[in-house]
Structure 1
Amino acid sequence: MITIRTTDVEFHGGRPRTAPLTWGQEVIWDLVRDWDDARSYAVLTRWLPIPLLLSIGDVLECVAELLRRHEALRTMYRPTTSGDATQEVLGSGTLPVELCDRPTDDDTDWTTIVTDCLVRAAQVGFDHDKELPIRFSVIMKDGIPILLSFAVSHLSADFVAADLLVADLTALLRARVDGRPAPGARTALQPADLAALENRPEGQLLTIEAARFIRRQLDRAHPGMLPTRAQPATPRFFRGQLESDAVALAVAPAARRYRSSPSALLLAVTSALMRCVCPGDAFPVDIMQGNRTLPELAGTVCTLSQSIPTVVDLTAGTFAALTEHCAAVLAQARSHGRHRHRVVAALADEAGVGSAAHFNDIWSHLPGRPTRPPATLEELTARTADSAFSWPERVDLKNKALFVGVRGTAERVHLSLFADTALLPPGDIRAFLDTFERTAVTLAYQDVPLAQVAAWYAESRTRYADVDHG
């Protein structure tokens, strides 16, 4: 029988201090404060193997070193009377760590055990003023550490930061096995230092410049750009997901054909499909920015991601022209990505343009992405047989009408479309993702007329219109 107990990890040698929230932390704080479902949503999970020959003591010492290096992991978030919060960085303290031990005679598979550990860690939101923002589980076989999993609050880490933690832990554990000193910590700003910079005049100037840009975008937007098109389902918001090796193989060569970036190519495919959904010549889209363009932020463990409102013009006559426009939109978003979001939110509320679409491309920034597709379109199209579609989520309420996410591993893209079924019925969501894959795959070898994208989408809509999506 699997046994579960806890032990405490002590950390020392840190620098205690208090600071305001960073702009990125403020985004998540407001989300958690104002949206009941966000407590469990705003948690990121990861797992990694533990090299053999390490003891539980070795693993816990590596966890302690990780806490010492990254102030975001030893931070309490204290609410204020105004509804804001401050971050209090602890110099020393303890963190409870779950120890999950499977005896040899238990046949429970490791995937089930890891999943159970991550669900336990993530399903209950963090009490940020009472506990540290990360939960670890060490998974063992008869006392021998095998796997390490963790759940971290989105207040302390975005998706890139969570992957940085995995990389740090892997390096620390490997050094232990090899008998080498721990590798040096990355040179990076800590969240409290970043908050201080954001509150200086040069930081405030970023918000002023972003506000000017956003006003121009909001002046081009209006409430009817994403209209209701169908009777909504129950629950109202569906998330479809297509996992595709073929898209992972197609994106880089397709982007090269258009002398553009993978992210611009992905936004262009999204926009080509939005031409089939929007009645007008443009659509409003909030573009998520990782905000790690500065060297001192590349290795920062914090939540830096912020979205910025833009408007994509849909009047391009060719896919090449649409890709060029999307590259320009992304460049503008990137230059204004860091700002105080409350100022931006107030501008959007004042404009009254309603909910926009949302585009979040994490996959393009992963290392090790494939760069060469098979020799022919027919060979790559055959790889779509390995694609898998699912409905991971259905909810009654969402803060965006349409959310396009591109995630996954370097070799397998996870295309995700979360949509209001009054805008896109379930069959249309499935058709959108299938047409996205078909378009991206074809673009790796040849141009695709925008009218062809619309024809493929109409064909897929017909195919899935009467399918049971329950």
Structure 2
Amino acid sequence: MPVHGDLSIVFHGHRGGEAQLTWGQRFIWDIIMRLAPRDEHLNLDVVVPVPEGVDVEGVREALARLIETHESLRTRYAVASDGSPRQILVQSGTLPVELREAAGEPDPSSAAPAGPLVRALTGRRFDLTREPPVRIGVVTREGAPAHVVMAMSHMVADGRGLHVIERDLTALLSGGAGSDGVALSPGRQPLDQAAFELGDEAAARIRTRAVDHWRRSLRRFPPSMFLGTATASARPRFWHGHLTAPALPVAASIVAAAQRATVPSVILTAFCSMLSHRLGSPHLSFVIRTANRFQPGTADAVGHLSQKAPFTIDLSGADFPERVARVHRSAVTAYWNGCYPPQELGDLLADEASRGRHLQLDTTLNVVPGDFAAVPGPSGQPAAYLAELENSSRYRVLDRREDEDVALFVNIEPPDGMSLLADTRYFAPAEIEAALRAIQRIVVKAALGEADPWTGVDEIGLPVRSACEEPERTEAVT
């Protein structure tokens, strides 16, 4: 049935309620508030094709079921009289849907016709205390639904939660008018996560362990890893570049298999090697994003559970296999210590500041959840195959903006993507591309068995900018 006029989604959940923010919600809330009113670049989107034969009623039913199932999609926010943010679960309501007719020739395999609608829905910030955190659109072709577009505030979901939304919407649309028969298994809902964090003994142990780990780790952090390396910035000051790196998962899989490591650990090691070379120091201290999905019911939870944890590493005297082993151990420790009230980290930082140490925590690495599976190349020709893949890498600038609160933010995006958001005082625009290419080159050289694969940084042409201050190291961090 062709779509004419307006469309709206009416939903009826099984409960409403109110609670304090979860630790993960408060983590992303604080980031959004720091960047407001220019935080729209944090918005998320999902684009799902509508299978042939599914009409507007099928789309409406699928979206209503999705919103009813995953409570984060119908959670609003308010600020209490004491200034603390609260989450308010709306039981029933209506969401408008923006319709947009696709232009150009039809291509069922391409989401490109949805691009203009994605940009329209994600390109403006969410006023979280005044509007729902979700905007919905449908791209039509000759009046029939072709793609569903969902734009969301980052409050709704982290990377894993976004994957669950896309997976479940795809399943519901494939069910068509019979979407009531599609089985969904929602994970722990935000209200339940808040209750767990507030009153469960296991949560108290998790919290204490994580805060203690932060306290020990901060003693090894410098104010910034980039002290003394600044040059004049570009305008706008912050640039965000992306490299499609097809050699990365193939080479990382070879190294991981040889060293009994994980692909993310290999890529993280290459990042550390690049950064160590760049700064002229084997000692690194930054933060990594943690998924925080090790508790029962959280694996498929739609919500923002991700936070940050401290990562410290000493690469002194280590060849690449030993670097991988050290990085893996440090990463596992960090991942197990990333679940805590963000306000308590603020207290620790304030305590450090009272001692004259103003820590910026301005460098972050995030491994986006997903599948790094790579298609192996022809046997006996790894060098030629990896060179061919590396030569096919594609770089593009995603964004330039004036307001951010990072020195460096790296996303590792399966299956073969990497992005780097940098303050151009520390990485000039051309050096952003060079840094991403250097990470791939290091992994390729390691896959080919070269003893010092970090020489790939020199081959790419990323210059050294030595920091002027070493961090205090009074004890090992475990």
The normalised TM-score by structure 2 is 0.88
* Distance in 2 (alpha carbons) for counterparts of 1:87 and 1:114: 31
Which residue pairs with 1:315 in the alignment? Answer: 316
The gaps in structure 1 that reach 5 residues or longer are: 463-470
Which residue pairs with 2:147 in the alignment? Answer: 147
More displaced 10-residue stretch of structure 1: 217-226 or 184-193: 217-226
* Distance in 2 (alpha carbons) for counterparts of 1:39 and 1:328: 34
Which residue pairs with 2:347 in the alignment? Answer: 346
> Structure 1's 373 and 358: CA in aligned 2 closer, same or farther, altered over 3 A?
farther
More displaced 10-residue stretch of structure 1: 179-188 or 284-293: 179-188
> Structure 1's 236 and 117: CA in aligned 2 closer, same or farther, altered over 3 A?
same
> Structure 1's 144 and 241: CA in aligned 2 closer, same or farther, altered over 3 A?
same
Matched, 1:194 2:226: no
Residue-by-residue CA offset, 1:249-305 (whole Å, 9 max, x unaligned) = 222222122211111111100111111122433121111011122341011000111
* Distance in 1 (alpha carbons) for counterparts of 2:273 and 2:314: 10
* Distance in 1 (alpha carbons) for counterparts of 2:283 and 2:349: 17
More displaced 10-residue stretch of structure 1: 292-301 or 65-74: 292-301
Which residue pairs with 1:466 in the alignment? Answer: none
Contact 1:58 1:176 in 2 (8 A): yes
Which residue pairs with 2:474 in the alignment? Answer: none
> Structure 1's 197 and 28: CA in aligned 2 closer, same or farther, altered over 3 A?
same
- From 372, 397, 406, the counterpart of 2:376: 372
Contact 2:46 2:166 in 1 (8 A): yes
Deviation at 1:117, TM superposition (A): 0.7
> Structure 1's 270 and 7: CA in aligned 2 closer, same or farther, altered over 3 A?
same
* Distance in 2 (alpha carbons) for counterparts of 1:345 and 1:143: 52
Tell me the SS of whatever aligns to 1:53: coil
- From 404, 413, 420, the counterpart of 2:410: 404
Matched, 1:6 2:6: yes
Which residue pairs with 2:166 in the alignment? Answer: 166
Which residue pairs with 1:382 in the alignment? Answer: 388
* Aligned-residue CA RMSD (Å): 2.4
Which residue pairs with 1:395 in the alignment? Answer: 401
Deviation at 1:226, TM superposition (A): 2.0
Residue-by-residue CA offset, 1:179-223 (whole Å, 9 max, x unaligned) = 575222214111100000001152233222211111111111222
Contact 1:176 1:182 in 2 (8 A): no
Residue-by-residue CA offset, 1:222-253 (whole Å, 9 max, x unaligned) = 22632232332222222222111121322222
Which residue pairs with 1:246 in the alignment? Answer: 247
Deviation at 1:317, TM superposition (A): 2.2
* Distance in 2 (alpha carbons) for counterparts of 1:419 and 1:359: 12
Contact 2:100 2:140 in 1 (8 A): yes
Contact 1:434 1:460 in 2 (8 A): no
Which residue pairs with 1:467 in the alignment? Answer: none
1:21-420 to 2 correspondences below 5 Å = 21-102=21-102, 113-176=113-176, 181-202=180-201, 203-223=203-223, 225-229=225-229, 230-351=231-352, 352-362=358-368, 365-367=369-371, 369-370=373-374, 372-375=376-379, 376-408=382-414, 410=415, 413-420=416-423
Q: After the TM superposition, which segments of 4 or more aligned residues of structure 1 sit over 4 Å from their partners?
A: 106-112
Query: Identity of aligned pairs, percent?
Result: 26
More displaced 10-residue stretch of structure 1: 206-215 or 373-382: 373-382
Deviation at 1:402, TM superposition (A): 1.2
* Distance in 2 (alpha carbons) for counterparts of 1:143 and 1:399: 44
Deviation at 1:60, TM superposition (A): 0.4
Deviation at 1:152, TM superposition (A): 1.2
- The letter for the 1-side match of 2:390 is T
The normalised TM-score by structure 1 is 0.90
Deviation at 1:59, TM superposition (A): 0.7
* Distance in 2 (alpha carbons) for counterparts of 1:451 and 1:12: 56
* Distance in 2 (alpha carbons) for counterparts of 1:284 and 1:181: 49
Tell me the SS of whatever aligns to 2:175: helix
- The letter for the 2-side match of 1:416 is S
Residue-by-residue CA offset, 1:428-451 (whole Å, 9 max, x unaligned) = 222211211112223233244155
> Structure 1's 168 and 345: CA in aligned 2 closer, same or farther, altered over 3 A?
same
Deviation at 1:354, TM superposition (A): 2.6
Which residue pairs with 1:449 in the alignment? Answer: 452
Residue-by-residue CA offset, 1:405-459 (whole Å, 9 max, x unaligned) = 1115x3xx221122222222223222211211112223233244155244324x4
Residue-by-residue CA offset, 1:10-60 (whole Å, 9 max, x unaligned) = 111421111111111101211222322553133101101111111101110
- The letter for the 1-side match of 2:314 is D
Which residue pairs with 1:465 in the alignment? Answer: none
Which residue pairs with 2:473 in the alignment? Answer: none
Deviation at 1:153, TM superposition (A): 1.3
* Distance in 1 (alpha carbons) for counterparts of 2:32 and 2:167: 28
More displaced 10-residue stretch of structure 1: 167-176 or 232-241: 232-241
Contact 2:138 2:146 in 1 (8 A): yes
- The letter for the 1-side match of 2:389 is R
* Distance in 2 (alpha carbons) for counterparts of 1:174 and 1:299: 20
- The letter for the 2-side match of 1:417 is L
Deviation at 1:366, TM superposition (A): 1.3
> Structure 1's 360 and 38: CA in aligned 2 closer, same or farther, altered over 3 A?
farther
